[in-house]
Chains A and B, each alone.
Chain A
Amino acid sequence: MSVVIPIGPFHPALHEPSFFKVHVEGEKIVHTDIRLGYNHRGLEKICEARTIEQAIIVIERVCGICSQAHTTAYCGAVEDIAGIDIPERAAYIRSIFCEIERIHSHLLCMGTMFHTLGYEYLFMECWKLREITMDILEDLGGNRVHYSSNTIGGVRKDIDNKTSDRILSDIESLLNPVKEWLDIIKHDSTVYERLKGVGYLSIKEIKQFGAVGAFAKGGGIPIDARFSDQYAAYGFHDFKPVVESVNGKGGDCYSRAVFRSKECLQSIDLTKTFLDNLPDGDLVTKYDSIPAGESMGRTEAPRGEDVHYVRTNGGPLLDRIRIRVPTYTNLQTLPTALKGNLIGDVPVILVTMDPCFSCTER
Protein backbone atom coordinates (compact mmCIF):
# COMPACT_ATOMS: atom_id res chain seq x y z
CA MET A 1 0.00 0.00 0.00
CA SER A 2 1.36 3.43 -0.90
CA VAL A 3 1.51 6.45 1.41
CA VAL A 4 1.29 10.02 0.14
CA ILE A 5 3.97 12.43 1.35
CA PRO A 6 3.35 16.09 0.51
CA ILE A 7 6.43 18.11 -0.43
CA GLY A 8 5.52 21.79 -0.63
CA PRO A 9 4.04 24.27 -1.42
CA PHE A 10 6.61 25.68 1.01
CA HIS A 11 9.37 23.30 1.96
CA PRO A 12 13.02 23.65 3.04
CA ALA A 13 14.15 21.47 0.13
CA LEU A 14 12.44 23.70 -2.43
CA HIS A 15 13.73 27.17 -3.14
CA GLU A 16 10.47 28.28 -4.74
CA PRO A 17 6.86 27.31 -4.07
CA SER A 18 5.46 24.23 -5.83
CA PHE A 19 3.59 21.19 -4.65
CA PHE A 20 4.64 17.57 -5.14
CA LYS A 21 2.46 14.74 -3.90
CA VAL A 22 4.92 11.88 -3.63
CA HIS A 23 3.39 8.39 -3.38
CA VAL A 24 5.79 6.03 -1.60
CA GLU A 25 5.92 2.34 -0.75
CA GLY A 26 8.30 2.09 2.17
CA GLU A 27 10.93 4.62 1.13
CA LYS A 28 10.60 3.97 -2.59
CA ILE A 29 8.76 6.49 -4.80
CA VAL A 30 6.08 4.90 -6.97
CA HIS A 31 4.32 7.96 -8.36
CA THR A 32 4.44 11.78 -8.20
CA ASP A 33 1.66 14.31 -8.79
CA ILE A 34 2.70 17.90 -9.47
CA ARG A 35 0.46 20.87 -8.71
CA LEU A 36 1.65 24.21 -10.03
CA GLY A 37 0.33 27.76 -9.92
CA TYR A 38 1.77 29.20 -6.70
CA ASN A 39 3.91 31.64 -8.65
CA HIS A 40 1.52 32.45 -11.49
CA ARG A 41 1.52 36.19 -12.24
CA GLY A 42 -0.30 36.33 -15.59
CA LEU A 43 2.61 38.04 -17.37
CA GLU A 44 1.37 36.93 -20.80
CA LYS A 45 -1.93 38.75 -20.18
CA ILE A 46 -0.11 41.82 -18.83
CA CYS A 47 1.99 41.96 -22.02
CA GLU A 48 -1.16 42.13 -24.16
CA ALA A 49 -1.88 45.57 -22.65
CA ARG A 50 1.64 46.86 -23.33
CA THR A 51 3.33 48.18 -26.43
CA ILE A 52 5.89 45.98 -28.16
CA GLU A 53 8.78 47.98 -26.61
CA GLN A 54 7.21 48.13 -23.12
CA ALA A 55 6.75 44.34 -23.14
CA ILE A 56 10.55 43.90 -22.98
CA ILE A 57 10.50 45.27 -19.43
CA VAL A 58 7.77 42.82 -18.37
CA ILE A 59 9.43 39.86 -20.12
CA GLU A 60 12.75 40.62 -18.45
CA ARG A 61 10.98 40.07 -15.13
CA VAL A 62 9.78 36.56 -16.01
CA CYS A 63 12.90 35.31 -14.27
CA GLY A 64 15.54 36.87 -12.07
CA ILE A 65 18.32 34.61 -13.27
CA CYS A 66 17.79 34.14 -17.00
CA SER A 67 16.37 37.58 -17.82
CA GLN A 68 18.77 38.12 -20.72
CA ALA A 69 17.78 34.81 -22.34
CA HIS A 70 14.09 35.80 -22.27
CA THR A 71 14.55 39.24 -23.79
CA THR A 72 16.94 37.86 -26.43
CA ALA A 73 14.29 35.34 -27.49
CA TYR A 74 11.54 37.97 -27.52
CA CYS A 75 13.59 40.58 -29.40
CA GLY A 76 14.67 37.86 -31.86
CA ALA A 77 11.04 37.03 -32.61
CA VAL A 78 10.01 40.69 -33.07
CA GLU A 79 13.07 41.36 -35.26
CA ASP A 80 12.04 38.38 -37.40
CA ILE A 81 8.53 39.83 -37.85
CA ALA A 82 9.93 43.26 -38.81
CA GLY A 83 12.75 41.81 -40.92
CA ILE A 84 15.46 43.56 -38.90
CA ASP A 85 19.04 42.26 -38.92
CA ILE A 86 20.89 43.44 -35.83
CA PRO A 87 24.45 44.89 -36.06
CA GLU A 88 27.28 42.44 -35.48
CA ARG A 89 28.53 44.31 -32.40
CA ALA A 90 25.04 44.11 -30.84
CA ALA A 91 24.93 40.36 -31.53
CA TYR A 92 28.26 39.89 -29.74
CA ILE A 93 27.18 41.98 -26.75
CA ARG A 94 23.95 39.95 -26.44
CA SER A 95 25.99 36.75 -26.44
CA ILE A 96 28.43 38.06 -23.83
CA PHE A 97 25.54 38.90 -21.48
CA CYS A 98 23.98 35.46 -22.13
CA GLU A 99 27.23 33.62 -21.35
CA ILE A 100 28.03 35.51 -18.14
CA GLU A 101 24.43 34.93 -17.07
CA ARG A 102 24.89 31.21 -17.75
CA ILE A 103 28.04 31.06 -15.61
CA HIS A 104 26.17 32.91 -12.86
CA SER A 105 23.21 30.50 -13.03
CA HIS A 106 25.41 27.38 -13.06
CA LEU A 107 27.42 28.65 -10.06
CA LEU A 108 24.16 29.28 -8.21
CA CYS A 109 22.81 25.83 -9.08
CA MET A 110 26.04 24.02 -8.18
CA GLY A 111 26.12 25.90 -4.88
CA THR A 112 22.59 24.78 -3.99
CA MET A 113 23.47 21.24 -5.09
CA PHE A 114 26.42 21.09 -2.70
CA HIS A 115 24.23 22.62 0.00
CA THR A 116 21.63 19.88 -0.57
CA LEU A 117 24.35 17.24 -0.31
CA GLY A 118 25.55 18.80 2.94
CA TYR A 119 28.85 19.94 1.46
CA GLU A 120 28.66 23.44 2.95
CA TYR A 121 32.24 24.47 2.16
CA LEU A 122 31.74 24.17 -1.61
CA PHE A 123 28.30 25.79 -1.33
CA MET A 124 29.94 28.92 0.06
CA GLU A 125 32.84 28.69 -2.42
CA CYS A 126 30.38 28.58 -5.37
CA TRP A 127 28.37 31.49 -4.10
CA LYS A 128 31.53 33.49 -3.46
CA LEU A 129 32.52 32.95 -7.10
CA ARG A 130 29.00 33.86 -8.17
CA GLU A 131 29.53 37.32 -6.68
CA ILE A 132 32.31 37.88 -9.25
CA THR A 133 29.90 37.23 -12.14
CA MET A 134 27.24 39.43 -10.53
CA ASP A 135 29.76 42.26 -10.21
CA ILE A 136 30.63 41.88 -13.90
CA LEU A 137 26.94 42.04 -14.80
CA GLU A 138 26.49 45.12 -12.62
CA ASP A 139 29.43 46.75 -14.37
CA LEU A 140 27.97 45.93 -17.78
CA GLY A 141 24.28 46.57 -17.28
CA GLY A 142 24.02 48.69 -14.13
CA ASN A 143 22.02 46.01 -12.29
CA ARG A 144 22.83 42.67 -10.74
CA VAL A 145 19.85 40.82 -12.21
CA HIS A 146 17.81 42.85 -14.71
CA TYR A 147 20.33 44.39 -17.09
CA SER A 148 17.86 46.13 -19.49
CA SER A 149 20.43 45.64 -22.21
CA ASN A 150 18.29 44.30 -25.03
CA THR A 151 16.11 46.44 -27.23
CA ILE A 152 14.41 45.72 -30.52
CA GLY A 153 17.07 46.01 -33.22
CA GLY A 154 20.09 45.66 -30.96
CA VAL A 155 21.38 46.52 -27.50
CA ARG A 156 21.49 49.63 -25.32
CA LYS A 157 24.61 48.96 -23.30
CA ASP A 158 28.07 49.11 -24.84
CA ILE A 159 31.27 47.48 -23.59
CA ASP A 160 34.40 49.69 -23.57
CA ASN A 161 37.97 48.40 -23.65
CA LYS A 162 38.59 48.98 -19.95
CA THR A 163 35.52 46.95 -18.91
CA SER A 164 36.40 44.26 -21.44
CA ASP A 165 39.88 43.84 -19.91
CA ARG A 166 38.43 43.66 -16.40
CA ILE A 167 35.89 41.00 -17.44
CA LEU A 168 38.64 38.94 -19.10
CA SER A 169 40.76 38.89 -15.95
CA ASP A 170 37.76 38.24 -13.65
CA ILE A 171 36.45 35.40 -15.84
CA GLU A 172 39.93 33.89 -15.94
CA SER A 173 39.94 33.74 -12.14
CA LEU A 174 36.88 31.43 -12.21
CA LEU A 175 38.59 28.80 -14.33
CA ASN A 176 40.67 27.04 -11.66
CA PRO A 177 38.00 26.86 -8.91
CA VAL A 178 35.49 25.36 -11.40
CA LYS A 179 38.06 22.74 -12.47
CA GLU A 180 38.72 22.02 -8.81
CA TRP A 181 35.09 21.33 -7.97
CA LEU A 182 34.70 19.19 -11.13
CA ASP A 183 37.53 17.12 -9.69
CA ILE A 184 35.71 16.89 -6.34
CA ILE A 185 32.49 15.68 -8.03
CA LYS A 186 34.46 13.02 -9.90
CA HIS A 187 36.67 11.76 -7.10
CA ASP A 188 35.24 12.65 -3.69
CA SER A 189 33.20 9.62 -2.59
CA THR A 190 30.84 11.69 -0.38
CA VAL A 191 29.67 13.56 -3.49
CA TYR A 192 30.15 10.83 -6.09
CA GLU A 193 28.21 8.10 -4.30
CA ARG A 194 25.35 10.43 -3.44
CA LEU A 195 24.83 11.29 -7.14
CA LYS A 196 25.73 8.14 -9.07
CA GLY A 197 22.72 6.17 -10.31
CA VAL A 198 20.21 8.57 -8.70
CA GLY A 199 17.37 9.98 -10.84
CA TYR A 200 18.27 7.95 -13.91
CA LEU A 201 16.55 8.79 -17.20
CA SER A 202 17.03 6.77 -20.40
CA ILE A 203 17.34 8.46 -23.80
CA LYS A 204 13.91 7.09 -24.74
CA GLU A 205 12.29 8.69 -21.67
CA ILE A 206 14.04 12.02 -22.28
CA LYS A 207 12.75 12.08 -25.87
CA GLN A 208 9.28 10.91 -24.88
CA PHE A 209 8.65 13.91 -22.60
CA GLY A 210 10.61 16.43 -24.65
CA ALA A 211 13.08 17.25 -21.88
CA VAL A 212 15.71 19.92 -22.54
CA GLY A 213 18.66 21.47 -20.72
CA ALA A 214 20.45 19.40 -18.10
CA PHE A 215 18.02 16.46 -18.51
CA ALA A 216 18.78 16.26 -22.24
CA LYS A 217 22.43 17.36 -22.41
CA GLY A 218 23.27 15.51 -19.21
CA GLY A 219 21.60 12.43 -20.72
CA GLY A 220 23.42 12.28 -24.03
CA ILE A 221 21.12 14.32 -26.30
CA PRO A 222 22.73 17.50 -27.71
CA ILE A 223 19.73 19.87 -27.66
CA ASP A 224 21.30 23.33 -27.54
CA ALA A 225 19.62 26.30 -29.23
CA ARG A 226 22.88 28.28 -29.23
CA PHE A 227 24.37 26.05 -31.87
CA SER A 228 21.21 24.71 -33.52
CA ASP A 229 19.44 28.08 -33.89
CA GLN A 230 22.57 30.27 -34.17
CA TYR A 231 20.97 33.37 -32.68
CA ALA A 232 23.05 36.42 -31.68
CA ALA A 233 26.77 35.75 -32.31
CA TYR A 234 26.75 31.97 -31.82
CA GLY A 235 26.83 31.30 -35.57
CA PHE A 236 30.16 33.15 -35.95
CA HIS A 237 32.27 30.68 -33.98
CA ASP A 238 32.52 26.94 -34.16
CA PHE A 239 31.58 25.42 -30.80
CA LYS A 240 29.85 22.13 -30.03
CA PRO A 241 27.32 21.54 -27.24
CA VAL A 242 28.66 19.87 -24.08
CA VAL A 243 27.09 16.43 -23.66
CA GLU A 244 27.57 14.02 -20.78
CA SER A 245 25.91 10.64 -20.31
CA VAL A 246 26.03 7.26 -18.59
CA ASN A 247 27.55 4.96 -21.23
CA GLY A 248 25.73 6.96 -23.92
CA LYS A 249 22.37 5.54 -22.85
CA GLY A 250 20.95 8.15 -20.51
CA GLY A 251 21.73 10.37 -17.59
CA ASP A 252 21.70 10.42 -13.78
CA CYS A 253 22.37 13.13 -11.22
CA TYR A 254 26.11 12.54 -11.52
CA SER A 255 26.21 13.04 -15.29
CA ARG A 256 24.06 16.15 -14.93
CA ALA A 257 26.40 17.64 -12.31
CA VAL A 258 29.45 16.90 -14.47
CA PHE A 259 27.68 18.33 -17.51
CA ARG A 260 26.89 21.55 -15.67
CA SER A 261 30.48 22.03 -14.54
CA LYS A 262 31.79 21.36 -18.05
CA GLU A 263 29.28 23.78 -19.56
CA CYS A 264 30.48 26.39 -17.08
CA LEU A 265 34.03 25.91 -18.40
CA GLN A 266 32.75 26.18 -21.98
CA SER A 267 30.89 29.41 -21.14
CA ILE A 268 34.10 30.92 -19.75
CA ASP A 269 35.77 29.96 -23.02
CA LEU A 270 32.91 31.42 -25.10
CA THR A 271 32.94 34.71 -23.15
CA LYS A 272 36.66 35.08 -23.77
CA THR A 273 36.19 34.33 -27.50
CA PHE A 274 33.38 36.88 -27.84
CA LEU A 275 35.29 39.59 -25.95
CA ASP A 276 38.44 39.00 -28.00
CA ASN A 277 36.53 39.19 -31.29
CA LEU A 278 34.16 42.05 -30.40
CA PRO A 279 33.79 44.01 -33.66
CA ASP A 280 33.33 47.78 -34.01
CA GLY A 281 30.07 49.22 -35.26
CA ASP A 282 26.59 50.41 -34.35
CA LEU A 283 24.58 49.13 -31.42
CA VAL A 284 21.08 49.41 -32.88
CA THR A 285 19.46 48.99 -36.28
CA LYS A 286 16.76 51.63 -36.63
CA TYR A 287 13.26 50.64 -37.75
CA ASP A 288 10.01 52.49 -38.52
CA SER A 289 7.25 50.21 -37.29
CA ILE A 290 6.52 46.58 -36.57
CA PRO A 291 4.10 45.07 -39.14
CA ALA A 292 1.45 42.44 -38.39
CA GLY A 293 2.91 38.97 -38.22
CA GLU A 294 4.00 36.08 -36.07
CA SER A 295 7.26 34.37 -35.31
CA MET A 296 9.23 32.23 -32.91
CA GLY A 297 12.27 33.27 -30.94
CA ARG A 298 14.61 30.73 -29.40
CA THR A 299 17.51 30.96 -27.01
CA GLU A 300 19.43 28.60 -24.80
CA ALA A 301 18.70 29.82 -21.29
CA PRO A 302 21.01 28.50 -18.54
CA ARG A 303 18.45 25.80 -17.76
CA GLY A 304 17.76 24.76 -21.36
CA GLU A 305 15.91 25.76 -24.48
CA ASP A 306 13.69 28.84 -24.11
CA VAL A 307 10.97 29.41 -26.74
CA HIS A 308 8.91 32.57 -27.32
CA TYR A 309 5.98 32.76 -29.72
CA VAL A 310 5.15 36.38 -30.60
CA ARG A 311 2.22 37.70 -32.62
CA THR A 312 1.70 41.34 -33.60
CA ASN A 313 -1.27 43.00 -35.31
CA GLY A 314 0.36 45.99 -36.98
CA GLY A 315 -0.60 48.31 -34.13
CA PRO A 316 1.54 49.47 -31.23
CA LEU A 317 0.26 46.80 -28.81
CA LEU A 318 1.42 43.22 -28.59
CA ASP A 319 -1.26 40.75 -29.70
CA ARG A 320 -0.06 37.56 -28.06
CA ILE A 321 3.06 36.19 -26.46
CA ARG A 322 3.61 32.65 -25.28
CA ILE A 323 6.71 31.79 -23.30
CA ARG A 324 7.82 28.19 -22.90
CA VAL A 325 10.71 27.83 -20.54
CA PRO A 326 12.99 24.79 -20.07
CA THR A 327 11.61 23.81 -16.65
CA TYR A 328 8.16 23.50 -18.22
CA THR A 329 9.08 20.40 -20.22
CA ASN A 330 11.52 19.13 -17.62
CA LEU A 331 8.72 19.05 -15.02
CA GLN A 332 6.79 16.68 -17.31
CA THR A 333 9.80 14.39 -17.15
CA LEU A 334 10.31 14.72 -13.39
CA PRO A 335 7.81 12.00 -12.21
CA THR A 336 9.72 9.47 -14.39
CA ALA A 337 13.07 10.63 -12.98
CA LEU A 338 11.76 10.30 -9.41
CA LYS A 339 10.14 6.88 -9.85
CA GLY A 340 12.02 4.05 -8.15
CA ASN A 341 14.26 6.39 -6.14
CA LEU A 342 14.25 6.91 -2.40
CA ILE A 343 12.25 9.74 -0.84
CA GLY A 344 15.49 11.19 0.59
CA ASP A 345 16.83 11.67 -2.95
CA VAL A 346 14.02 14.01 -4.09
CA PRO A 347 15.94 17.24 -3.25
CA VAL A 348 19.06 16.03 -5.10
CA ILE A 349 17.12 15.06 -8.25
CA LEU A 350 15.24 18.36 -8.15
CA VAL A 351 18.36 20.45 -7.73
CA THR A 352 20.31 18.75 -10.55
CA MET A 353 17.34 19.47 -12.82
CA ASP A 354 17.64 23.12 -11.64
CA PRO A 355 13.94 24.04 -11.67
CA CYS A 356 12.71 27.61 -11.91
CA PHE A 357 9.03 27.85 -11.00
CA SER A 358 8.97 31.60 -11.45
CA CYS A 359 9.81 31.02 -15.14
CA THR A 360 7.48 28.05 -15.53
CA GLU A 361 4.37 29.74 -14.21
CA ARG A 362 5.05 33.28 -15.42
Chain B
Amino acid sequence: MKELPETKEVMAIFDAHSIDAKKTHKLRIFAEVEDHILWHGILKEKFDARLLIATGVDEMDSFVVHYHYNIQAKPRDLVVTLKKRVSRINPTLKSLTPIDNSANFSERETSDYFGIEFEGHIQPEIMFLPDELKGEFPLRKDYKTGGQKCQLLSR
Protein backbone atom coordinates (compact mmCIF):
# COMPACT_ATOMS: atom_id res chain seq x y z
CA MET B 1 0.00 0.00 0.00
CA LYS B 2 1.35 3.44 -0.97
CA GLU B 3 2.54 5.59 1.93
CA LEU B 4 0.78 8.95 2.25
CA PRO B 5 2.52 12.25 3.17
CA GLU B 6 0.35 12.40 6.32
CA THR B 7 1.66 8.99 7.45
CA LYS B 8 5.22 10.30 7.17
CA GLU B 9 4.23 13.45 9.05
CA VAL B 10 2.69 11.50 11.96
CA MET B 11 5.67 9.12 12.09
CA ALA B 12 8.08 12.11 12.11
CA ILE B 13 6.31 13.60 15.15
CA PHE B 14 6.56 10.29 17.03
CA ASP B 15 10.24 10.00 15.99
CA ALA B 16 10.97 13.53 17.24
CA HIS B 17 9.71 12.48 20.69
CA SER B 18 11.72 9.21 20.41
CA ILE B 19 8.57 7.08 20.49
CA ASP B 20 8.77 3.75 18.70
CA ALA B 21 5.68 3.77 16.46
CA LYS B 22 4.78 0.70 14.38
CA LYS B 23 3.06 0.54 11.02
CA THR B 24 0.91 -2.36 9.86
CA HIS B 25 0.42 -3.69 6.32
CA LYS B 26 -2.45 -1.24 5.70
CA LEU B 27 -0.47 1.54 7.39
CA ARG B 28 -2.38 1.71 10.67
CA ILE B 29 -0.04 3.36 13.19
CA PHE B 30 0.36 2.08 16.77
CA ALA B 31 2.44 4.06 19.28
CA GLU B 32 2.98 3.53 22.99
CA VAL B 33 2.97 6.85 24.85
CA GLU B 34 3.57 8.02 28.42
CA ASP B 35 1.07 10.89 28.54
CA HIS B 36 -2.07 10.10 26.55
CA ILE B 37 -3.73 13.44 27.44
CA LEU B 38 -0.79 15.38 25.97
CA TRP B 39 -0.79 13.27 22.79
CA HIS B 40 -4.56 13.59 22.47
CA GLY B 41 -4.00 17.36 22.42
CA ILE B 42 -1.20 17.10 19.84
CA LEU B 43 -3.25 14.90 17.48
CA LYS B 44 -6.31 17.15 17.87
CA GLU B 45 -4.38 20.36 17.30
CA LYS B 46 -2.10 19.28 14.45
CA PHE B 47 -4.37 16.90 12.52
CA ASP B 48 -7.90 17.60 13.81
CA ALA B 49 -8.04 13.91 14.81
CA ARG B 50 -11.39 12.27 15.64
CA LEU B 51 -11.50 9.78 18.52
CA LEU B 52 -12.93 6.46 17.33
CA ILE B 53 -12.84 4.29 20.45
CA ALA B 54 -11.03 3.58 23.69
CA THR B 55 -10.23 -0.11 24.19
CA GLY B 56 -8.72 -2.15 26.97
CA VAL B 57 -6.37 -5.09 26.44
CA ASP B 58 -5.16 -7.47 29.13
CA GLU B 59 -1.49 -8.30 28.50
CA MET B 60 -1.25 -10.39 31.70
CA ASP B 61 1.61 -8.34 33.22
CA SER B 62 -0.29 -5.09 32.77
CA PHE B 63 -3.33 -3.57 31.11
CA VAL B 64 -3.04 -1.44 28.00
CA VAL B 65 -5.66 1.16 27.19
CA HIS B 66 -5.81 2.04 23.48
CA TYR B 67 -7.18 5.28 22.09
CA HIS B 68 -7.86 4.97 18.36
CA TYR B 69 -8.01 8.12 16.22
CA ASN B 70 -9.01 8.91 12.68
CA ILE B 71 -6.91 11.49 10.82
CA GLN B 72 -8.28 12.92 7.59
CA ALA B 73 -6.06 12.52 4.54
CA LYS B 74 -6.41 12.17 0.78
CA PRO B 75 -7.21 9.71 -0.71
CA ARG B 76 -7.35 7.54 2.40
CA ASP B 77 -7.81 8.45 6.08
CA LEU B 78 -5.25 7.27 8.65
CA VAL B 79 -5.91 5.36 11.85
CA VAL B 80 -3.51 6.21 14.67
CA THR B 81 -3.58 4.38 17.99
CA LEU B 82 -2.14 5.66 21.25
CA LYS B 83 -1.33 2.91 23.75
CA LYS B 84 -1.09 3.70 27.44
CA ARG B 85 0.15 1.04 29.84
CA VAL B 86 -1.72 0.74 33.16
CA SER B 87 -0.43 -1.17 36.18
CA ARG B 88 -2.37 -4.32 37.09
CA ILE B 89 -2.02 -3.74 40.84
CA ASN B 90 -3.59 -0.31 40.95
CA PRO B 91 -5.33 0.22 37.61
CA THR B 92 -6.08 3.94 37.46
CA LEU B 93 -5.79 6.28 34.52
CA LYS B 94 -6.67 9.91 33.85
CA SER B 95 -9.93 10.11 31.93
CA LEU B 96 -10.20 11.81 28.53
CA THR B 97 -13.91 12.54 28.99
CA PRO B 98 -13.51 16.03 30.56
CA ILE B 99 -11.62 17.07 27.40
CA ASP B 100 -13.40 14.94 24.79
CA ASN B 101 -17.00 13.82 25.31
CA SER B 102 -16.76 11.09 22.68
CA ALA B 103 -14.64 8.95 25.04
CA ASN B 104 -17.52 8.71 27.53
CA PHE B 105 -19.12 5.34 26.68
CA SER B 106 -15.93 3.51 25.69
CA GLU B 107 -14.11 4.49 28.90
CA ARG B 108 -17.10 3.38 30.96
CA GLU B 109 -17.16 0.07 29.11
CA THR B 110 -13.41 -0.46 29.59
CA SER B 111 -13.89 0.27 33.28
CA ASP B 112 -16.72 -2.32 33.42
CA TYR B 113 -14.76 -5.11 31.79
CA PHE B 114 -11.24 -4.57 33.15
CA GLY B 115 -11.76 -2.72 36.42
CA ILE B 116 -9.64 0.22 35.31
CA GLU B 117 -10.64 3.38 37.15
CA PHE B 118 -10.79 6.50 34.98
CA GLU B 119 -10.01 9.47 37.24
CA GLY B 120 -12.18 12.51 36.56
CA HIS B 121 -14.72 10.70 34.38
CA ILE B 122 -17.89 12.80 34.18
CA GLN B 123 -20.29 9.87 34.44
CA PRO B 124 -18.61 6.89 36.17
CA GLU B 125 -21.56 4.47 35.97
CA ILE B 126 -22.02 0.85 34.89
CA MET B 127 -22.41 0.54 31.13
CA PHE B 128 -23.59 -2.93 30.04
CA LEU B 129 -22.98 -5.39 32.87
CA PRO B 130 -25.79 -6.29 35.27
CA ASP B 131 -25.58 -4.93 38.83
CA GLU B 132 -24.91 -8.44 40.22
CA LEU B 133 -21.54 -8.53 38.44
CA LYS B 134 -20.20 -5.51 40.34
CA GLY B 135 -16.58 -6.16 41.30
CA GLU B 136 -16.11 -8.83 38.62
CA PHE B 137 -14.21 -7.99 35.47
CA PRO B 138 -15.05 -10.53 32.75
CA LEU B 139 -12.57 -9.51 30.07
CA ARG B 140 -9.54 -10.00 32.31
CA LYS B 141 -7.63 -13.07 31.15
CA ASP B 142 -7.72 -14.67 34.60
CA TYR B 143 -11.52 -14.40 34.89
CA LYS B 144 -13.14 -17.80 35.39
CA THR B 145 -16.19 -18.07 33.14
CA GLY B 146 -17.48 -21.37 34.54
CA GLY B 147 -19.80 -23.61 32.55
CA GLN B 148 -18.82 -26.61 30.49
CA LYS B 149 -16.29 -26.67 27.73
CA CYS B 150 -17.92 -27.23 24.36
CA GLN B 151 -16.87 -30.37 22.48
CA LEU B 152 -16.07 -29.84 18.83
CA LEU B 153 -17.68 -32.49 16.65
CA SER B 154 -15.39 -34.16 14.15
CA ARG B 155 -16.76 -34.48 10.63
Q: Which A positions have Cβ atoms within 8 angstroms of B?
A: 36-37, 40, 42, 44-45, 76, 79-83, 207-210, 223, 228-230, 235, 293-296, 298, 305, 307, 309, 311, 319-320, 322, 324, 328-329, 331-332, 361
Which B residues are CB-close (under 8 A) to A296? Answer: 28, 52, 68, 79, 81
Q: What sequence of 0s and 1s flags, for each residue 113-155 of chain B, a beta carbon within 8 Å of any chain A beta carbon? A: 0000000000000111110000000110000010000000000
Which B residues are CB-close (under 8 A) to A223? Answer: 50
In the complex, how many angstroms separate the beta carbon of B150 from the nearest chain A beta carbon?
8
Contact A210 B50 (CB under 8 A): yes
Docked pose: A214 CA to B72 CA in angstroms: 19
Contact B102 A80 (CB under 8 A): no
Nearest to B149 among chain A residues (CB) is: A49
Taking a contact as CB atoms closer than 8 A, the residue among B30, B79, B105, B126 that contacts A298 in the complex is: B79
Docked pose: A207 CA to B44 CA in angstroms: 12
21 A-B residue pairs with Cβ-Cβ distance under 8 Å, sorted by A, are A36-B128, A37-B127, A37-B128, A40-B128, A40-B129, A42-B138, A80-B25, A81-B24, A83-B25, A208-B102, A209-B101, A210-B51, A210-B102, A235-B75, A235-B76, A295-B26, A307-B68, A319-B57, A324-B106, A332-B102, A332-B104
Taking a contact as CB atoms closer than 8 A, the residue among A83, A209, A324 that contacts B52 in the complex is: A324
Nearest to B25 among chain A residues (CB) is: A83
A interface, by DSSP: helix, strand, loop or mixed? mixed
Which A residues are CB-close (under 8 A) to B105? Answer: 328-329, 331-332
Nearest to A221 among chain B residues (CB) is: B50
Which A residues are CB-close (under 8 A) to B102? Answer: 208-210, 329, 332
Docked pose: A319 CA to B57 CA in angstroms: 9
In the complex, whether B53 has a CB less than 8 A from a CB of chain A is: yes
Which A residues are CB-close (under 8 A) to B50? Answer: 207, 210, 223
Contact A309 B53 (CB under 8 A): yes
Docked pose: A141 CA to B129 CA in angstroms: 35
- Count, chain B residues at interface, CB 8 A: 34
In the complex, how many angstroms separate the beta carbon of A87 from the nearest chain B beta carbon?
16
Instruction: Take A309-B66, A328-B105 as given contacts and tell me if A295 and B129 are in contact as well, using a CB distance cutoff of 8 Å.
Output: no
Which residues between 1 and 50 of chain B lie within 8 Å of chain A, taking CB atoms?
24-26, 28, 30, 50
Contact B128 A45 (CB under 8 A): no
Nearest to B57 among chain A residues (CB) is: A320
Which B residues are CB-close (under 8 A) to A76? Answer: 26
Which A residues are CB-close (under 8 A) to B126? Answer: 37
Q: What sequence of 0s and 1s flags, for each residue 86-106 of chain B, a beta carbon within 8 Å of any chain A beta carbon? A: 000000000000000110111
Docked pose: A322 CA to B110 CA in angstroms: 10
Nearest to A80 among chain B residues (CB) is: B26
In the complex, how many angstroms separate the beta carbon of B48 from the nearest chain A beta carbon?
10
In the complex, how many angstroms separate the beta carbon of A325 from the nearest chain B beta carbon?
10
Which A residues are CB-close (under 8 A) to B25? Answer: 79-83, 295
Count: A-B pairs, CB below 8 Å:
87
Nearest to A307 among chain B residues (CB) is: B52
Which A residues are CB-close (under 8 A) to B129? Answer: 37, 40
Which B residues are CB-close (under 8 A) to A37? Answer: 126-130
Contact A228 B128 (CB under 8 A): no
Contact B53 A324 (CB under 8 A): yes
Which B residues are CB-close (under 8 A) to A328? Answer: 105-106
In the complex, how many angstroms separate the beta carbon of B139 from the nearest chain A beta carbon?
6
In the complex, how many angstroms separate the beta carbon of A52 from the nearest chain B beta carbon?
15
In the complex, how many angstroms separate the beta carbon of A63 from the nearest chain B beta carbon?
16
Docked pose: A83 CA to B25 CA in angstroms: 6
Contact B139 A45 (CB under 8 A): yes
Docked pose: A309 CA to B80 CA in angstroms: 12
Nearest to A319 among chain B residues (CB) is: B57
Docked pose: A324 CA to B53 CA in angstroms: 7
Q: Which of A80, A208, A320 has the most CB of B within 10 A?
A: A320
Contact A36 B127 (CB under 8 A): yes
Which A residues are CB-close (under 8 A) to B70? Answer: 228
Contact B52 A230 (CB under 8 A): no
Which A residues are CB-close (under 8 A) to B30? Answer: 294
Which B residues are CB-close (under 8 A) to A79? Answer: 25
Contact A230 B101 (CB under 8 A): no
Contact A228 B26 (CB under 8 A): no
In the complex, how many angstroms separate the beta carbon of B60 from the nearest chain A beta carbon?
11
Which A residues are CB-close (under 8 A) to B145? Answer: 45
Docked pose: A157 CA to B104 CA in angstroms: 40
Known: A81-B24, A332-B102. 6 other contacts (CB 8 A): A40-B128, A229-B77, A235-B75, A295-B24, A296-B28, A320-B58
Which A residues are CB-close (under 8 A) to B72? Answer: 228
Taking a contact as CB atoms closer than 8 A, the residue among A44, A329, A361 that contacts B139 in the complex is: A44
Instruction: Take A40-B128, A80-B26, A229-B77 as given contacts and tell me if A332 and B53 are in contact as well, using a CB distance cutoff of 8 Å.
Output: no
